[in-house]
Chains A and B, each alone.
Chain A
Amino acid sequence: MELINVLGLDIKILIAQFVNFAIFFFVLYKFAYKPILKFLDDRKDKIENGIINAEKAEQKLLEIEDNEKKIIENAKIEAKNISKDIIDKATIFAEDKKVKMIEKAKQEIKTLIDQEKGSIEIQKAQTIKEIKREIADIVIASLEKIIDKKLNKEELTKTIKEISKE
């Protein structure tokens, strides 16, 4: 029991030390570690959630970017198709119109030519007629000169006219 004395073990001090330490522990437990641990846990959760959310957001962003690209590509293809359609239609239309115009022009030209031909024919006929008449006149004159007054003038004209008619 001498050891106890040497070590200074006194029941009063022991009790006091116990009370001291108990209060110390209790206060730290109740007012420090419990709330601090809870706080740290909460923050950990928060950070975890934050990271998960950030990852999700990133994924979503990637998805959206993907979709955007797809949409743009689709739009491009559609636009291409539409423009091609329009151009095709326009080309066909133009071709059609061209053909029609050419046809019309041809027709017009043809009618013009026909008309011209008609008038030329008529002129030709007239010319021929005139030529015939003139020839007839010349022939009559020359015949008058040749035959002189031996033949009846009226009869002769009649005969020539008949001849020229033939």
Chain B
Amino acid sequence: MEGISLAPQVLFYIKSFPVTNSFFWAVFLSLFLIIMHLIIRIRLKEIPGRLQNAFEVLIDGSYSLVKSVMENDKKAKKALPLIFTLFIFIMMANLATFIPGQSAISIKTPNGNVPLFRAIMADYSLIFIMTMISVITTQIVAIFVYGPFGYIFKFINIKELKNFFLELLKGRLKLGLLGQGFLDLFLGLMDIVGEIAKIISLSFRLFGNIFAGEVLGAVFLFLAPFIAPLPMQFLGLLTAIVQAFVFSILTLIFIKMAGDIGPEEVNS
């Protein structure tokens, strides 16, 4: 058994750019999915064929799900492409690991023997990028909804403190407002932590699941190559789809939450 590494291994270099096995397959999968989508797009018919039918079921189901979360037709249409892209990309990447015989092939590189295939989602850099896209999209939606200043003051909440000092200038000492002000400030700052935690929780959930699945599969294959890995494979199949679903649906919920205006904000 080759050493298990958290990082994808470098296959070859294009000039100084290291092409890792995960990255290579990510590009390959992207191209494959683009071509598939274009084929479906070009062959769109009023009476759907088999491929189009399957795709329609998928996209229609996603659309109704996104709509039920966003509670708005227009918003759902805006959110759907990103959510669906994430979903189908992660799902196909995960399912691609089930193509048999992958782990058997490795190529010789200056860094030693490197497996040609590696689960695309077992590459933290890609997951990190996707997570960043998800979280930054969330922030952009929040800025659009609250406005730039509203967005900043959502995290640095000094409204009540300001009220306290205004009251103090008028000669009234309201300790309740002071307490409320500090609490709001603290909660606002905690929100920043929450946003950062999102990045970590979202990315490591997916990465951990897929990477663990890979490692587990490899270990089982090493210990008991026949039949024993099968249950793990079935679980892996479940994980592959569930994790894709979880990642995209969490992104959707973040976007939805960012776009929601709480009752206090509506009043002010």
Determine how close the nearest CB of chain A comes to the CB of B70; give it in whole angstroms.
14
Greatest chain A CB density within 10 A among B40, B41, B125, B130 is at B125
B247 at the interface (CB under 8 A from A): no
Q: Cβ of A13 and Cβ of B23 under 8 Å apart?
A: yes
CB-nearest residue of chain B to A25: B85
Query: A21-B133, A31-B38 known; A37 and B63 CB under 8 Å?
Result: yes
Residue A52 interfacial (CB < 8 Å): no
Chain B residues near A142: list those with CB within 8 A: none
User: Closest residue to B84 on the A side, CB-wise?
Assistant: A33
Is there an interface contact between A27 and B34, defined as CB atoms closer than 8 Å? yes
Cβ-defined contact, B82 with A39, below 8 A: no
What residues on A are CB-neighbors of B23 within 8 Å? 13, 16-17, 20
In the complex, A99 has a CB within 8 A of chain B: no
Decide if A12 touches B6 in the complex (CB within 8 Å): no
Q: How many residues of A contact B (CB 8 A)?
A: 31
A29–B88 Cα distance when bound, in Å, is: 13
CB-based contact B37/A31 at 8 Å: yes
Cα A27 to Cα B55 in complex, Å, equals 17
A12 pairs with B63, CB closer than 8 A: no
- Could you say which of B25-33, B106-114, B163-171, B182-190 contacts chain A? B25-33
B129 lies within 8 A of chain A by Cβ: yes
The answer to whether B27 touches A36, judged by C-beta atoms less than 8 angstroms apart, is no
Note all chain A residues with C-beta closer than 8 A to B124.
7-9
CA gap between A37 and B88 in the complex, in Å:
16
CA separation between A21 and B7, bound complex, in Å? 19
Q: Mark B55-72, 1 if CB is under 8 A from A, else 0.
A: 110011001000000000
Residue B80 is within 8 A (CB to CB) of chain A in the complex: yes
Q: Which of A6, A14, A28 has the most CB of B within 10 A?
A: A28
Chain A neighbourhood of B56, CB < 8 A: 40
A43 CB within 8 Å of chain B: yes
Bitwise interface map of A from 1 to 27 toward B, beta carbon under 8 Å scored 1, else 0: 000011111101110111011011101
Complex CA–CA separation, A89 to B152 (angstroms) = 102
Contacts of B37 in A (CB 8 A): 27-28, 31-33
CA distance A25 to B80 in the complex (A): 12
| A23-B30 contact given A10-B18, A14-B129, CB 8 Å threshold | yes
A9-B63 contact given A28-B37, A28-B81, CB 8 Å threshold: no
Contact A32 B30 (CB under 8 A): no
B156: interface (CB < 8 Å): no
In the assembled complex, the Cα of A39 lies from the Cα of B59 at a distance in Å of 12
Residues of A contacting B55 in the complex (Cβ-Cβ under 8 angstroms) = 36
Contact of A43 among B6, B46, B84, B133 (CB under 8 A): B46
Do B27 and A10 have beta carbons less than 8 Å apart? no
A13 & B18 in contact (Cβ 8 Å cutoff): yes
Could you tell me the distance between the alpha carbons of A33 and B82 in the complex, rounded to whole angstroms?
10
A104 proximal to B (CB < 8 A):
no
Given contacts A7-B125, A25-B81, contact A16 B17 (CB under 8 A): yes
The 9 closest A-B pairs by CB, nearest first: A8-B7, A32-B37, A7-B124, A24-B30, A33-B81, A29-B81, A17-B129, A17-B126, A18-B129
